């Protein structure tokens, strides 16, 4: 349910930033935002894919491409400088979507695998949000309803074997997101957590320290466009949190009902 003080968020002429925009959820969400009148600062490592993204939209001039690593301060500064020029220092929406994964037993992985996953999936959203907050507060102080949307995972609610680094990063994101929401409610800034199950995208083509051709044995996967549609709806309706897909909801709610049963099921799966 939307919080009492919040109105429906309107994309028309909004200034937005979407990280991880060159593929998957970020690609589709950017297209939807532009189609509904937003200016989008699209951030990703692959410049050519960002150009393809812009050209695939109804209004390419509203896609402002920033190629760079989301963990680097220079990428963050470049994106915020562009958003400042578009809205006189105003920012209506920040979507922390960029992410990486890893598959394999924790004991077999190097320390660097955990650090890389945490840097991209947790510390990058924290840094982007910290730098964006003055701009978001400016919108709220002038009667707007800015939103921070963090793309989490059902694995930030219930961890599974062989994805310890990814689960750790999404649990950290979930906890930080919930605290941030409570802190910013009085400022008029909405904080939304979207928790998809497996998304059918290029995510599994860039796993950290993982053998090629690894697949995720998950149920209830959704195509990126469907996840993006649910994400935009959650943003518009000022939802605090949404868990996507039947399989994702089954995992989360079964764990809430009986953690010992889920522990046993997942232990067998791990073996």
Active site residues: 166
- Residue 249 CB-half CA count within 13 A: 7
Nearest to 90 by CA among 13, 33, 186, 183: 13
Encoded tokens for 72: 């680097």
Encoded tokens for 17: 């930033």
User: First-to-last CA distance in the chain?
Assistant: 40
Distance from C-alpha of 165 to C-alpha of 106, rounded to nearest angstrom: 8
69, β-bridge pairs: none
């Amino acid at each position: 349910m939307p919080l009492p003080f919040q109105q429906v968020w309107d994309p028309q002429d909004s200034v937005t930033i979407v990280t991880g925009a060159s593929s998957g959820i970020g690609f589709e969400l950017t297209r939807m935002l532009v189609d509904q009148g937003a200016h989008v600062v699209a951030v990703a490592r692959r410049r050519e894919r960002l150009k393809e993204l812009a050209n695939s939209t109804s209004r390419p001039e509203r896609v402002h491409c920033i190629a760079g690593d989301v963990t680097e301060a220079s990428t963050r500064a470049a994106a915020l400088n562009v958003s400042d020029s578009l809205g006189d220092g105003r920012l209506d929406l920040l979507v922390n979507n960029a992410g990486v994964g890893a598959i394999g037993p924790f004991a077999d992985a190097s320390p660097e695998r955990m650090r890389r996953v945490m840097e991209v999936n947790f510390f990058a959203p924290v840094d982007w949000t910290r730098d964006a907050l003055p701009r978001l507060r400016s919108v709220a102080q002038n009667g707007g309803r800015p939103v921070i949307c963090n793309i989490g995972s059902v694995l930030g609610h219930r961890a599974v074997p062989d994805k310890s680094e990814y689960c750790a990063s999404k649990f950290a994101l979930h906890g930080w997101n919930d605290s941030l929401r409570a802190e910013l409610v009085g400022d008029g800034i909405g904080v939304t957590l979207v928790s998809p199950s497996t998304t059918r995208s290029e995510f599994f083509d860039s796993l950290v320290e993982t053998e090629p051709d690894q697949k995720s044995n998950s149920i209830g996967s959704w195509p990126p466009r469907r996840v993006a549609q649910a994400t935009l709806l959650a943003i518009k309706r000022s939802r605090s949190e949404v868990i996507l897909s039947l399989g994702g909801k089954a995992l989360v709610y079964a764990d809430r009902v009986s953690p010992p049963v889920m522990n046993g099921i997942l232990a067998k799966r791990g073996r």
